[in-house]
Amino acid sequence: MRFKFPIIIIDEDFRSENTSGLGIRSLVQPIEDEGMEVLGVTSYGDLTSFVQQQSRASCFILSIDDEEFSDDRAEDTLAQLRAFVGELRHRNQYIPIFLYGETRTSSHIPNDILRELHGFIHMFEDTPEFIARYVVREAKAYIRALPPPFFRALVDYAADGSYSWHCPGHSGGVAFLKSPVGHMFHQFFGENMLRADVCSSVEELGQLLDHTGPVAESEANAARIFHADHLFFVTNGTSTSNKIVWNSTVVPGDVVIVDRNCHKSVLHSIIMTGAIPVFLMPTRNNYGIIGPIPRSEFDWENIQKKIAANPFITDKNAKPRLLTITQSTYDGVMYNVEEIKQELDGKIDGLLFDEAWLPHASFHDFYGDFHAMGQDRQRCKESLVFSTQSTHKLLAGISQASQILVQDAENYSLDKELFNEAYLMHTSTSPQYSIIASCDVAAAMMEPPGGTALVQESIAEAMEFRRAMRNVDEAWGEDWWFKVWGPDELAEEGMGPYEDWTLRANERWHGFGNLADGFNMLDPIKATILTPGLDVDGQFAEVGIPACILTKYLSEHGIVVEKTGLYSFFIMFTIGITKGRWNTLVTELQQFKDCYDTNMQLWRCMPEFLENNRRYEGMGLRDLCHQIHQMYAQYNIARLTTDMYMSDLTPAMRPGDAWSKMAHREVDRVPIEELEGRITAMLVTPYPPGIPLLIPGERFNKTCVEYLRFASHFNERFPGFETYIHGLVKEVKDGKTHYSIDCVRE
């Protein structure tokens, strides 16, 4: 397999017709003869963006020839060189750097630069051919050392060209070539993707299910990079990672302590294991943003009280098997992990931090102790600590790439054999090898210093974005503009200290009330953008811009956001962020403002939407916003959803038992109007926010019913903006729509 990584030469004479130019260009042909490409440029240009070229280069040759160093620019040239080499090493510890001079020698270069170099080329002493071989050897060695174990083995295997008799049946893609549409598929995904799609009978790649060979080496490599004692790649998402951890330790009747704001995979885990959940309740503000579980909820006395009050727990002294916390909520709120460990070590057997949104945190000091595992962390004495991370959400993993990290306790280590039994319960015997490779590569990419630089960059861009939004706001003066949710203080430049991002009691911006100082932090790379119309107290303004309209508008203009709330939407600054992307968002928001302010006709500003939703024919953008805004205000929807999520929901049976009723069809399909007091057999989850509202076995209360009534009215009135509620069954009978939910037959 030949990879393209050119050797980059930076020399201001690269294109000149002088001896210096001739000299440097004489290197090009011999290098190309050795099978490498050359890219010649004449200046460092914009340093930061140029340094980013390091990711596609195999080597740099930097000229320090006579003129630049002899005349009055010498100081500048040296400073530039130092800055360039510094920036380069900030991201890449290993890429070879050569200096190239005609008469100058290393004695003219200060030591702090020299020590970063791989060699010094004297053009007129050696032949170009000799120099080329020397440079190419270093460049190739560097490239060869790049791939981590599993990816390397997979590339070798795919390039090897052996005939396979094993699955998958498409035989390296050949089957696709026998049909026209198959041909299209082949052309679209490319040969390598299909050649690398192999099955577990290929021995030299190792086994994911047994953690052997190159897979095991890569898992060990990732464990080292992420500071875990054990690390397991998972090829079907953190949904599965969570279930594996649960199944490894929880059995029917076990007590578990669970964040009420948890991903549905955790609720599925509760159902599947037959556990008895005791929920910790998070705060919530009236924007609809889920806040942290208050520090006091974690107090052991508090948890004991909850256990005592739970009607299904017979042994009140039973030790809870597992705690599961959403570490970094969707909106970016994180907990101080060391504080939780201190409080609960030995009281609960395992502490699981669901870090689906937080795999980047251990690569930057900025995140302090606000993530589960990192360098020099204390172990618990008794409790195992788990973290599950969606590599694909914030790092460079492809969909479903995920991993489980484990930190042993001082007195107790993970039983790997036992754990792997649970792993096998959830893992396909035909794992997708490109996902394994992407777990491997995503980890290797994060190895410092490169990974740290990547995280730094995404934080820095997120800060720039926040400042840019504030500048626009200032420029508009009294006129309306969007706000980015976050602390009032924002560093004027750079990142500022992390303390700026910790949550303090009763600050108005967060609206989560009386929190313990410093127990929580907001991750700045998660940006919730607030639209006008609703304040943090849940008060509706005269006019407003429901976020669902704005995000429809944005998607029609090529910007797809991560999540839409009532008056907020959410974007993330992952390591894939570019200046172009967020600047485009800012300009599109300006365009939207224009359209709104002039009440532009929908056929002009949202033609695609109108095409599919003729009901809005003839309306302007502002009119539409106003209609939806009024309906939200009429139902007081911000308060309603907050009340609904904060209301005391009484469990009538264990979640697993409710599911048993469902599986055996001992359920009734109950219309919304008759739901109050009934026990749901379904998980009921409104989108947004995608947080389960009711768990199988819980009774509907008045607020839940009121919310469902609102949702069905809203969906009738505003087609195209439907609130989707998982668990709500929609049926059309006699031309009328009916909504109902499956409830346990009592």
Kindly list the residues in this chain that would bind ligand PLP in the complex (CB under 6 A): 237-239, 263, 265, 326, 354, 356-357, 390, 402
Phi-psi region of 35 (alpha: psi -120 to 50; beta: other; left: phi over 0): left
Q: CB of 282: closest distance to ligand PLP in angstroms?
A: 12
Written as six digits, the tokens of 506 are 């009763």
**25 versus 260: smaller Cβ distance to ligand PLP:** 260
**356 versus 441: smaller Cβ distance to ligand PLP:** 356
The values of phi and psi at residue 149, to 5°, are -55, -50
Written as six digits, the tokens of 633 are 């205000």
**393 versus 678: smaller Cβ distance to ligand PLP:** 393
Closest CB to ligand PLP belongs to which residue?
Answer: 237
Helices 237-249 and 416-426 cross at an angle (nearest 10°) of: 130
> Rounded to whole angstroms, how far apart are CA atoms 565 and 638?
10
Q: CB of 367: closest distance to ligand PLP in angstroms?
A: 17
Q: CB of 338: closest distance to ligand PLP in angstroms?
A: 21
> Rounded to whole angstroms, how far apart are CA atoms 150 and 32?
30
Per DSSP, the chain holds a count of helices (H) and strands (E) of 27, 23
Q: CB of 232: closest distance to ligand PLP in angstroms?
A: 14
Sign of CA dihedral 423, 404, 348, 262: negative
**54 versus 326: smaller Cβ distance to ligand PLP:** 326
**101 versus 237: smaller Cβ distance to ligand PLP:** 237
**358 versus 549: smaller Cβ distance to ligand PLP:** 358
Q: CB of 389: closest distance to ligand PLP in angstroms?
A: 9
Contact 712, 739 (CB under 8 A): yes
Strand ranges (E), 306-381: 322-326, 333-335, 350-354
Give exposure, 49-76, as e/b (b: 16+ Cβ within 10 Å): ebbeebeebbbbbbbbbeebbeeeeeee
Q: CB of 239: closest distance to ligand PLP in angstroms?
A: 3
**139 versus 272: smaller Cβ distance to ligand PLP:** 272
Radius of gyration, alpha carbons of the chain: 29
| Residue of 562, 685, 639 whose CA lies nearest to 288 | 639
Q: CB of 485: closest distance to ligand PLP in angstroms?
A: 18
The values of phi and psi at residue 366, to 5°, are -50, -30
Query: CB under 8 Å to 544, separation ≥6 — which residues?
Result: 531, 532, 533, 534, 567, 625, 629, 632, 633
**326 versus 456: smaller Cβ distance to ligand PLP:** 326
**97 versus 325: smaller Cβ distance to ligand PLP:** 325
End-to-end distance of the chain based on CA atoms, in angstroms?
65
Q: CB of 694: closest distance to ligand PLP in angstroms?
A: 19
**423 versus 609: smaller Cβ distance to ligand PLP:** 423
Q: CB of 404: closest distance to ligand PLP in angstroms?
A: 12
- The DSSP result for 377-442, as a single string, is PPPPSS-EEEEEE-HHHHSS--TT-EEEEEE--SS----HHHHHHHHHHHS-SS--HHHHHHHHHH
Q: CB of 564: closest distance to ligand PLP in angstroms?
A: 16
